[in-house]
Amino acid sequence: MSSPPRRKFRRETASQRKDDLIAATLQVISESGVRAATVRTIAERAEVTQGLIRHYFSSKEDLIAAAYEHHMTQMTDAVATAKDVTAGTARDRLAGFVMASLSPPVVNPGWVALWSGFLNEALHDADLNKIHQRTYHHFRDQLEALIAEALRETDQPAPPERLRQLAIASNGVIDGLWLEGGALPQEFATGELAKIGLDSVAALTGLDLHRKAIDT
């Protein structure tokens, strides 16, 4: 006759709970794909009951968008704040930017799963599309600024149109290699993608980006 006891819980701050729910969402999608991201699965992962999601987010779609935003910020920051990206000559920082983009933890199957799942949604969802557009530009603009600075530094300043093309091309090769490294991890030796990426951006821009002694 006795119903099971109501589960104990702690009251958390709104921002803490939101962060937890976002983190749980990202874990579920990265491990099992977008189709697995149901409110019940996410709530279970966050160790709360499903009703709480709607208490903090107006809909599941709203939570997904917040998770997308969070993930892209996290990924961008992981590159922008990596070692060698924040100090040194412009060429050093550009090299560090490319290396960081093509090394763990940025190259990671889970992050590719997140990226592909969100992109698939963004292609038919206006809100998510805006997030995609914004984060794409943010990353590419950072890359373009570094390339511009490195070219100026070596007395090879380039006009805006050429800078744009170099940034698009460099961003393309970084994105492509990142994707392949995350989607087929066993395909590439340790450091191989980073080396290929660095050589590629060097060939595209004409810059000498010999990498520093990271290996050994």
Partner DNA sequence: AAAATAATTATACGCTTGAATAATTACTGG
Partner DNA sequence: CCAGTAATTATTCAAGCGTATAATTATTTT
- For position 124 contacting DNA by CB under 7 A, the verdict is no
Q: Given its phi and psi angles, is residue 96 left (phi above 0), alpha (psi -120 to 50 degrees) or beta?
A: alpha
Residue with tokens 């050994």: 216
- For position 116 contacting its own copies by CB under 8 A, the verdict is yes
Residue with tokens 């090299």: 95
**Taking a C-beta distance cutoff of 8 angstroms, is the pair 72, 135 a contact?**
yes
- For position 173 contacting its own copies by CB under 8 A, the verdict is yes
- For position 41 contacting DNA by CB under 7 A, the verdict is yes
* Smallest distance from DNA to CB 108, Å: 25
- For position 52 contacting its own copies by CB under 8 A, the verdict is no
Residue with tokens 């491990």: 31
Instruction: Kindly state the tokens that stand for 146.
Output: 């570094």
Of 16, 32, 59, 73, the one binding its own copies (CB under 8 A) is 32
Measure the CA–CA gap between 25 and 38, rounded to whole angstroms.
Answer: 9
**Taking a C-beta distance cutoff of 8 angstroms, is the pair 17, 52 a contact?**
yes
Interacting span for its own copies (CB under 8 A) from 3-11, 15-23, 66-74, 118-126: 118-126
Of 1, 15, 51, 160, the one binding DNA (CB under 7 A) is 51
Measure the CA–CA gap between 201 and 209, rounded to whole angstroms.
Answer: 8
Distance, first Cα to last Cα, the chain:
67
Of 17, 175, 191, 214, the one binding its own copies (CB under 8 A) is 175
Interacting span for DNA (CB under 7 A) from 4-12, 116-124, 151-159, 184-192: 4-12
**Taking a C-beta distance cutoff of 8 angstroms, is the pair 177, 103 a contact?**
no
- For position 133 contacting DNA by CB under 7 A, the verdict is no
- For position 117 contacting its own copies by CB under 8 A, the verdict is yes
x/- mask, its own copies, residues 57-96, rule CB under 8 A, reads ----------------------------------------
**Taking a C-beta distance cutoff of 8 angstroms, is the pair 136, 175 a contact?**
no
Q: Which residues bind its own copies (CB under 8 A)?
A: 31-36, 109, 112-113, 116-117, 119-124, 132-133, 136, 165, 168-169, 171-177, 179-180, 183-184, 188, 193, 196-197, 199-200, 203-204
